[in-house]
Structure 1
Amino acid sequence: MTLQIHLQIVGCLLVMLGLSHAFMNRYFGWSNELAGVSLLTRQIFYVHAFFIALGVVLGGAVSLAYHDALLSPAPLNRAILLSMAFFWFCRLLAQLFAYDGATWRGNRFRTRMHVAFLMLWCYVTSIYGFAFIKVCGT
């Protein structure tokens, strides 16, 4: 597969991930979890969750719609690709080190999701990284 196709796949995956945030409140029971915190903290949490989802959708949409343009050698493309690779690399590190293993160990579904997201972050980081290297080399 070509790098263009991989950028489209990454874009599609990120758009789906961003849109899935609409269902996370129900799945994770955030309303109940956040009932004991102040109104301001609850609102900040929901606003941040919305903007994270929006950022993921928009980043994915750029990769999906402009995969060819991203791979043309230009300073802006290098900046975008390097930024995306760095962002998703940081997310990969968070998956490895920010979540306590007690939240997923012993639970088959959560363990599978932990591994699936590790693989997703590795894939997304790699594709943006390879795209950056390609753009720098042309």
Structure 2
Amino acid sequence: MELQLKVIGALLVGLAVMHAGFPRYFNWATEFKPLSLINRQMMYVHTLFIALVVLLCGLLCLNFAPDLVQTHLGRIVCLGMGIFWLVRLVVQFVGYSPLLWRGKTFETTVHIVFSLLWLYLTVVFLLVSWQ
């Protein structure tokens, strides 16, 4: 399981880095113009902090996989992360309309890939927590 946590660590670091491209890819400069200043800034700040948390979780998995697997505290941390990613998996299906991806090749691929990623993260973290 330590190897799986290290793989997850690398994936989460990559995911955190991807967040840096969100404003440009999703054209936030134009899309957010109608929003109030506070709402625009909240989107940027929340995205920054989500990326930071994902980065820190990734670094935790990369650098402390043995501790996560072998200690009681590590397994509790994994339980929390397993629950977090389980909720994220559910939100993938109830928080986003299928109109955003259904019938669109690229968007459907992204939807499937990220659904599988959230499932993988959930399963590994929960399995570690139950050891």
Q: Which residue of 2 aligns with 1:61?
A: 59
TM-score (norm 2): 0.97
The whole-number CA distance in structure 2 between the counterparts of 1:58 and 1:66 is: 11
Number of residue pairs matched?
131
Residue in structure 2 matching 1:78, options 71, 75, 79: 75
Unaligned segments of structure 2, at least 5 residues: none
The whole-number CA distance in structure 1 between the counterparts of 2:42 and 2:57 is: 22
* SS of structure 1 residue aligned to 2:70: coil
* SS of structure 2 residue aligned to 1:36: coil
TM-score (norm 1): 0.92
* SS of structure 2 residue aligned to 1:99: coil
Supply the AA of the counterpart residue of 1:116.
V
Q: Which residue of 2 aligns with 1:16?
A: 14
Q: CA deviation at 1:102?
A: 0.4
The whole-number CA distance in structure 2 between the counterparts of 1:112 and 1:84 is: 25
Supply the AA of the counterpart residue of 2:35.
V
Supply the AA of the counterpart residue of 1:43.
Q
Q: CA deviation at 1:30?
A: 1.4
Give the fraction of aligned pairs with identical amino acids, expressed as a percent: 38
Residue in structure 1 matching 2:91, options 82, 85, 94: 94
Supply the AA of the counterpart residue of 1:98.
G
1:113 aligned to 2:110? Answer: yes
Residue in structure 2 matching 1:29, options 9, 27, 30: 27
Unaligned segments of structure 1, at least 5 residues: none
The whole-number CA distance in structure 1 between the counterparts of 2:93 and 2:58 is: 23
Q: Which residue of 2 aligns with 1:123?
A: 120
